[in-house]
Structure 1
Amino acid sequence: MVAFKRNDPSQQTLAKLAMNRRRLLALGGLTAGAGALAACGGNTGRGSSEGVSLSQWYHQYGEAGTQQAAEKYAAAYKDATVTINWIPGDYDTALSSGLLAEKEGDYPDVFEGHLNRAMVESGQIVPLDDILADVIDDYTPDDLARNTIDGKIYGVRMIDDPQFLYYRPSLLEEKGITPPATFEELMAAAAELTTGDVKGLFLGNDDSATKLFQPIVFSAGETLLTDANEIGFTKETVLAGAAQVKALHESSSLLVGAPTEAWDPSSIIQNLCAIQWCGLWALPQIIDAHGDDINVIPFPAFGGGTPTVFNGGWDTFVNAKSAHVDEAKDFVKWLWVENEEFILDWNLSYGFHIPPRLSMRGNAEQLQSGPAAEAVRISQEFGWAENPNWTPKMETAVDDMMNHIVLEGADPDAEFDAATATIQGELDSIFG
């Protein structure tokens, strides 16, 4: 499942990928075309109840069988008629338009996405505390926090998607290279592994500068926003990390202009690179290509800090505008809270993901050995999750800062000051 967005991504990280699985953009836009968008992939599961119809929206996942699985789940539900809308292309824009639509059938009753405060303050979604009340302790603190605004839970976790570096052990062994634990070691390994036909490292075609901002911050033990909703990172940390990223970009070790973005494992599968940043979802494809010659490591530490892993994924929400809010909540509870068979199927049969329900993880046999088990381990040890109070405007501010410093050679101090001024302005407007 294409989660890079792109938790994913997420307003948290990996912010400008072509199929961004990481962050829901600030909701807005025109309602024109919402009805046509809602019709994409309109396959229906016919329940036994008459008169209650629900529309469930998904972005277009990349793995074969995912759309058919969603349709299978809908068809199995007996308390409403559920129509699956499978949205290709720019899901964020389609969803923004759909949530503004007024006519039943043009908007989603249930949809997947990523929480941000704008969704709550504009009244677009309803709290789901009641359907989670009996199982609240069966989710990780991160999965609850990423779906909580002002003490209320608005989303139910569907999949957890850690992202890390894949590497070919044989290629490193040939060069006598130990899997890198620091950014300096990663740069050195990437240079050594670069040959005429293979680049040492692939982080993404157009945003590897921006996606490294958050590993820099979290590696230092800092954060985007503190619990008091203040800026949680320092100039010293960010600028030191940006200087290292700039040095990497000025090397010849990065794969740029790959046929697909980094959410897709094609580059390491086709031997275009020795090391690639990607997600757990891609592991089955990579194993099919390279067998036992594959392993994973967290993103190496910056500046004496710790390695990091972005724990992305997808969540499901109920549209406050729905004519059937209670029925939509019942469907979400049935599918994403209670239905172990379908939750495990969605997480393990179409690429690998970590089931959000802790009680179900013991049944995820595919994740209990080899690189999959290592991916789960490092996600637990080094992982971080989105903060729904980190807004798209804040993310754009740090993305611009990193691009200006790393790619354009702009003054680092001035860029940092401009970015933090924008973030502080956002915080002041939200929290006073």
Structure 2
Amino acid sequence: MSASSALSRRGFLGTSLLFVAGAAVACSSNPQGTAAAKGAKVTLTQWYHQYGEEGTQAAVKRYAEQYTKANPDVAINVVWGADTSQYETKLNAALLGADAPDIFELGDFRAEMARAGQLEPLDDVYGAAKGGFNKADLDYLTVDGTLYGIKTIDDVMVLYYRKSLLKKAGVTPPTTFAELVDTAKKLTTDGVKGLFIGNDGIGDSPYLLAWSQGVDLIDGKKVVYADAARSIGGLHQLHSDKSVLLGFTTDWYDPGAFNQGAAAMQWGGMWSLPAIEKALGDDFGVVPWPAYDSAGKPVARLGGWTQAVNAKSKHVAEAKKYLQWLWVQQTDIQIDWAVKYGFHVPPQAEVAARTPELKKGAAKDAVAIANKNGISFPAEWTQAMQASFIAAAADIAKGAAPEKALRKAQATAQSALDKQMG
């Protein structure tokens, strides 16, 4: 079976390709036996979730094949998995069984996995290159002083603005929350809202408001986001002014509202930049979410996928060597992965600086913002914590007392964190 016909992009976990001495073969239920037949001494199984961008599956096959050509004793069993909504469930189940992958992706890095002994420490994988990685990424992947993952891409989230609409309204990109409120209000006209942060009018804004006040979600062993009641309370003002776009046909992670002129400013991902540039030319710019006030700081959220090594793998040393080759040493592969099948930023600053697509215009500005203002969720943050936090923010937007709503949610989150810390 050829590499092109062996997999469906919509196939679930269980179908994979094994790369042995540069050749792709269909995997049976016993890939180790297949590897032995081809002469490889070790088979590493590497899981990816199912990326939506065309060309990603072929790319990871090519990377694996390239490594095996240089290291013929090591075969790479590439497993192209379920879509994002199903991937984590399948991964968690697999990690409890005998057929767990050696290397796997994590969309949301979790400190509890490291503390439970599921993740192998990776400080030696970074080695001397550690200082060249985005600090926000390193902070995100560090648990109790040890690194347990390596980012493969940074998804930078920024505030897009229409240059012509701001000029017409006589305003400049906001640098404080008060300016954001005023600017959004002045940009709101018939058929155009000043700001789009999500169909629910909430989106990422509660996190951004807390961070921009200088408050994190978790500090050590304490959930502390209620300390940002002052800034998160600003959501009510934004909604009262009716300058926030609600209920558009696409959500904040799609550039539709911005490209179609329904909003003059939109919080969105750097992945949307090529589509925005195609629709608007140079009539747009990017800035970080503004500082809450003079004592705060501008921020930009960093997302993206992480790869980790199974601590219970029989081939930990070989898996770490492969990750080091792929995500630390092979800068051309890192550039290829970041910008050829989507639009992302390589986590190493030097690699991002060498990426042609990121050297000009708004893309260059977004990279600078990521390096200076990037921030990620704490590794202890969970989906359950997120749900109660966002619910509290939604109540605040409707008029609930900020401190009371946040303290109640924070108490629930603290109980969850106490259990996690054990």
Q: 2: distance between equivalents of 1:274 and 1:200?
A: 5
Partner of residue 361 from structure 1, selected from 338, 344, 352: 352
Partner of 1:112: 105
Any idea what SS the aligned residue of 2:154 has? Answer: strand
- Deviation of 1:299 after TM superposition, in Å, equals 1.0
Partner of 1:178: 172
Alpha-carbon distance change, 123 to 214 in structure 1, aligned in 2, over 3 angstroms: same
Alpha-carbon distance change, 327 to 204 in structure 1, aligned in 2, over 3 angstroms: same
| Percent identity over paired residues | 37
Alpha-carbon distance change, 200 to 271 in structure 1, aligned in 2, over 3 angstroms: same
Partner of residue 59 from structure 1, selected from 46, 49, 53: 49
Partner of 1:243: 233
User: What is the 5 A alignment of 1:287-366?
Assistant: 287-304=277-294, 305-366=296-357
Does the aligned pair in 2 maintain the 1:47–1:82 contact within 8 Å? no
Any idea what SS the aligned residue of 2:252 has? Answer: coil
1:326 partner amino acid: A
Does the aligned pair in 1 maintain the 2:210–2:232 contact within 8 Å? no
Q: TM-score, normalised by structure 2?
A: 0.82
Q: 1: distance between equivalents of 2:257 and 2:21?
A: 43
- Deviation of 1:275 after TM superposition, in Å, equals 1.5
Aligned residues: 389
Alpha-carbon distance change, 231 to 61 in structure 1, aligned in 2, over 3 angstroms: same
Partner of residue 97 from structure 2, selected from 85, 92, 102: 102
Any idea what SS the aligned residue of 1:254 has? Answer: coil
Does the aligned pair in 1 maintain the 2:18–2:78 contact within 8 Å? yes
Alpha-carbon distance change, 281 to 334 in structure 1, aligned in 2, over 3 angstroms: same
1:84 partner amino acid: V
Query: Does 2:207 match 1:217?
Result: no
Does the aligned pair in 2 maintain the 1:156–1:317 contact within 8 Å? yes
Q: 2: distance between equivalents of 1:224 and 1:89?
A: 25
1:65 partner amino acid: G
Q: 1: distance between equivalents of 2:301 and 2:153?
A: 14
Alpha-carbon distance change, 316 to 404 in structure 1, aligned in 2, over 3 angstroms: same
* CA root-mean-square deviation: 2.7
Query: Does 2:118 match 1:124?
Result: yes
- Deviation of 1:403 after TM superposition, in Å, equals 2.3
User: What is the 5 A alignment of 1:148-297?
Assistant: 148-206=142-200, 208-209=201-202, 211-226=204-219, 228-233=220-225, 235=227, 238-297=228-287
Does the aligned pair in 2 maintain the 1:87–1:94 contact within 8 Å? no
Q: 2: distance between equivalents of 1:270 and 1:43?
A: 42
Whose radius of gyration is greater, 1 or 2?
2
Deviates more, 1:296-305 or 1:94-103: 94-103
Q: 2: distance between equivalents of 1:161 and 1:90?
A: 18
- Deviation of 1:199 after TM superposition, in Å, equals 2.9
Deviates more, 1:65-74 or 1:337-346: 65-74
Alpha-carbon distance change, 203 to 244 in structure 1, aligned in 2, over 3 angstroms: same
Partner of 2:390: 399
Deviations 1:169-212 (A, max 9, x none): 01221222222222233233333333443333221224x42622
- Deviation of 1:52 after TM superposition, in Å, equals 3.9
Partner of 1:142: 136
Partner of 2:403: 413
- Deviation of 1:166 after TM superposition, in Å, equals 0.9
Q: 1: distance between equivalents of 2:344 and 2:238?
A: 30
Does the aligned pair in 2 maintain the 1:167–1:295 contact within 8 Å? yes
Q: 2: distance between equivalents of 1:210 and 1:148?
A: 26
Does the aligned pair in 1 maintain the 2:111–2:379 contact within 8 Å? yes
Partner of 1:22: none
Q: 1: distance between equivalents of 2:250 and 2:56?
A: 20
Any idea what SS the aligned residue of 2:267 has? Answer: strand
Q: 2: distance between equivalents of 1:306 and 1:150?
A: 26
Partner of 2:75: 80
Alpha-carbon distance change, 45 to 277 in structure 1, aligned in 2, over 3 angstroms: farther
Q: 2: distance between equivalents of 1:281 and 1:210?
A: 17
Does the aligned pair in 1 maintain the 2:102–2:309 contact within 8 Å? yes
Deviations 1:290-339 (A, max 9, x none): 11112101112324433221122221111234443333223212211211
Q: 2: distance between equivalents of 1:255 and 1:99?
A: 42
Structure 1 unmatched runs, 5+:
1-35
1:191 partner amino acid: K
1:54 partner amino acid: L
Q: TM-score, normalised by structure 1?
A: 0.81
Q: 1: distance between equivalents of 2:364 and 2:225?
A: 31
Any idea what SS the aligned residue of 2:160 has? Answer: strand
Does the aligned pair in 1 maintain the 2:55–2:341 contact within 8 Å? yes
Q: 2: distance between equivalents of 1:257 and 1:82?
A: 43
Partner of 1:17: none
